[in-house]
A and B are shown apart, each in its own frame.
Chain A
Amino acid sequence: MNTPTPYLRIQHLRKSFGSFIALDDISLEIKEGEFICFLGPSGCGKTTLLRAIAGLEQQEQGRIVQAGQDISTLPPQQRDFGIVFQSYALFPNLTVSENIAYGLANMRLPRRERRQRVEALLEQIHLPGIGDKFPGQLSGGQQQRVALARALATEPGLLLLDEPLSALDARVRLHLRNEICALQRKFGITTIMVTHDQDEALTMADRIVVMDHGRIAQVGTPEEVYRQPATEFVARFVGSMNLMPAEVLDHCSLMLGSREVKVPMTLPVCERGTLGFRPECAQLQSAPFGLSSDHNLVLQARLDHVHFMGAFVRLEMMLDEELPPIHMDLPVEQMSSLKPSVGESLWLSVPREALKFYPAESPGHGEVLPRSIEADLPQDMAAMQVTGA
């Protein structure tokens, strides 16, 4: 999309429940037709943000502009959205058809057209012929698809999904992921989905908004969020990551536990921080020769456990007693060719591009400093600077 003005613009939204701050100065822009995921642990404010967009929760400060109209103070009835909840919220005493047609009744459509619309929607959710059933007679996945059809029936400009897949079992969830994406693409409807499931967010979203304690931690495409986590929180929350507390010695060396390690990057000026890399980015080496320490972090560690995970093997390595074990994921074939044994000391290398360093927020001015940085820089820049990419 090349439209210069975003479809949905959220500015400085703030909302608290008593002393708990649910939304802390949230600003966000969403383009027309985008699929956005709000991702975060429970209590991070993602659902509150969704409900504020729907008008079900009234913000204390800030503005919401949808399609050029300021909707900040409108009640939900006067906003333009369809919503699907985790609990389906289908009316149990109405049939599937009546549920889907519920919002069509007051659009003054002729009866025949209404029925056609319902049938077309049932077709699109691949459940033709269930119109006369009651929701109680359907499976969870079917009910959720009906809820989706009901939300789409009035052709709203914005689709809001509040953890729509969380109540379903794993296989149905995978199937519905594809179906929701397909429907979203077919309708071209701007969609916001709230989820705490990172796989869901990574596979479905055009862009992910990672939230933490009522603030936005990072906004980016799934790949950006996975490869360049902006903060230690994002690194921990999305995917698995080896994170080791480190003391900064100079611009290119660190103390990891009781070991001094040279890192192939320029470290920021600070005292301590966290060094991180993804388990699949590390490589096993038979010997430390031929590896440039300008391009690789080279470590020697003892192999403690080997976990068979199906498609790959996870090695648990001990670098130092004071540090958490390092995880490494190897393809099964590589494992069988190298045949490392438990207790053995092994060499591993991590390429420079895969290394992340997050400086610790010094407790003294931690409250003030990050804010001023954030105000000047887009967030996903911060990590890139540090990694020197």
Chain B
Amino acid sequence: MPATLSLTSSPRALNTETWLQRLIVAGGLCFLLAALLMPLLTMLVKSLQNAAGEFAGLSNFIEYFSNPALTRSILNSLNIAFWTTVIVVSTAFVFAYALTRSGMVAKRGFRLLSMLPLFAPSLLPALSMIYLFGNQGILRDWLPVDSIYGPVGIVMGLSFWAFPHALMILITAFSNSDARLYEAARSMKTPSWRVFLTVTLPSVRYGLINTIFVIFTLTITDFGVAKVIGGQYNVLATDIYKQVVGQQNFQMGAVVSVILLLPALISFAVERRVQRQQSAQLSSRAVPMTPQKSPLRDALLALFCALVCGFLLLVIGMAVYASFITFWPYNMALSFNNYRFDMMDGGGWASYFNSLQMSAWTAFIGTAIVFLIAYMSEKIKPMPLARRLLQLLAMLPMAVPGIVLGLAYIFFFNHPQNPFNAIYGTMFILVLNTLVHFYTVCHLTAVTSLKQIDSEFEAVSASLKVPFYTTLRRVTLPLALPSVLDISVYLFVNAMTTVSAVVFLYSSETTLASVAVMHMDEAGDIAPAAAMAVLLMLTSLVAKGLHWLISHQILQRTQRWRQR
């Protein structure tokens, strides 16, 4: 008898089910390749070409770096990102600590208020800053610098907008605590400052590093705030816009995009590394801790949280108030004049309804695509390499600034030889672009919830000869329903408020409200811009409220099994 009977796996017998799975994986792969990777590669190629489309090597980059007016923006961007990160992360750190580890009162209220900026377009805080600290601002005299138009304004606006993003990550980090470590420390009579340094800080270390990189990426790539309140202070994101829209210099736009892509990619890579290490940190046997009361500390923390929330409310309140002022600062009577958008630039009410339509499509189609691709990459066996690639591509949008993605879409989809050329200038390209722009967070949400579902369900179904799509419909989808709803509302809100990605892609028939805010501001109609921004925020809040109601209703009805 031969020692080993060589029977190298003959091609596995395929049935329709396996074919269907392969088809979907391949479809998902094609989707991400066509809607993400190829546009980006086209942009890379463009940065190496001259205006006539011939290969020009690095000459565009040489031109860029020999122009100090342009390279200044690199330093400016880094400067903005650095200060915003410092302010936001330190504030959010204390805030998250107060919410998770103190016996402070009104935690729920503070938490709800702190999430408000998520629903506002990033232009809103910038407009609000103009009313607060601008040349005719009500708090003009409080401003320690000459003008709000510049780095101070950008940092303040970005701090408002980025705060909840930092807070969410840090709250999660602080929640992963093991009460037994604190009990052990206390039983050894450790002073509380040492407990903080040796137990608390190490346990949130990864979350903290993660936050720093996320906020740095968010702020260095932001377009909206710098556009409205940057004044003469140029940053990379606004440079791209100016090169493309102002000077029609697409090659230079591509060069700046490549440069902006670099810090984002680096911080993205670091963040992924950190994330991987964190997963192994908390043992499953950890006992969650319940915060202890300590009157003085809790009072101080409550004061701090009140101040932060006060600032957030001030910014939102200012924008709301200003939107109702008839003619700032001469006619302070309240009216709805600023909401008569049809009298202004930017497409009027039509653009608001376009935005609604675009957001609804993005939420609807996007959720289906995200969930299906996440399901395929998590739960299905065939084509391991393709699924790895799928997971990798799904993480990439996180590192691509919206404005870079928008420009890449021009290069790719506006190319006359591209078979998808027809979608250029339609609603469809806006939906596609927005979906890809916000893809990563949705994908991660879906993957996280799928990971919580027993990995043996597919094996059991196979043994019972039930096709995978039946199990997907009858079991997996109902189990993941809460996160599916989360994804859809996340996509809706972000599609409503985003500016950067779509600013290059709308046409005269598909003007969008968020872009209209920018155009009205450019035309000097700051009050109507604020009004539109407030309307967008209100719409997002209503969507969130509806989502809460619907999911509450649906969960009540379909999730009866969750009750014991």
Contacts and interface: CB of A to CB of B under 8 A. Distances in A.
Nearest to A135: B561
> Which of the four size classes fits the interface of chain B?
35 or more
A77 B15 CA distance: 9
Given A78-B13, A78-B15, A89 B463 contact: no
Contacts of B9: 58-60, 73
B557 interface: no
Contacts of A79: 463
Given A25-B3, A63-B5, A72-B7, A89 B460 contact: yes
Nearest to B457: A89
A83 B564 contact: no
A78 B15 CA distance: 9
B478 to A, nearest CB: 5
Contacts of B18: 75
Nearest to A63: B7
Contacts, number: 113
A106 B558 CA distance: 24
A375 interface: yes
Contact of A93 (B15, B381, B479): B479
A62 B7 contact: yes
Nearest to A134: B561
A91 B465 CA distance: 15
Contacts of A61: 4-8
A94 interface: yes
A151 interface: yes
A141 interface: no
A136 B561 contact: yes
B456 A87 contact: yes
Contacts of A270: none
Contacts of B10: 73
B454 A83 contact: no
Given A61-B6, A78-B13, A93-B561, A106 B475 contact: no
> Which of the four size classes fits the interface of chain A?
35 or more
Interface in B1-35: 1, 3-15, 17-18
A54 interface: yes
Interface string A67-79: 0000011111111
B248 interface: no
Contact of B465 (A11, A85, A106): A106
A91 B466 contact: no
Contacts of A83: 459-460, 463
B466 A76 contact: no
A375 B3 CA distance: 8
Nearest to B381: A56
Given A60-B9, A61-B7, A85-B456, A136 B564 contact: yes
A258 interface: no
Nearest to A159: B463
Given A56-B459, A93-B478, A137-B564, A102 B464 contact: yes
Please name the 6 residue pairs, one residue from A and one from B, whose CB atoms are nearest each other, closest first.
A103-B464, A76-B462, A134-B561, A89-B456, A12-B5, A91-B475
Interface of A: 11-12, 14, 25, 54-56, 58-63, 72-79, 81-83, 85, 87, 89, 91-95, 102-103, 105-106, 134-137, 150-151, 153-154, 156, 160, 375
15 contacts: A11-B5, A56-B381, A61-B4, A62-B5, A75-B14, A75-B15, A76-B462, A83-B459, A85-B459, A93-B479, A102-B464, A106-B465, A150-B464, A160-B463, A375-B1
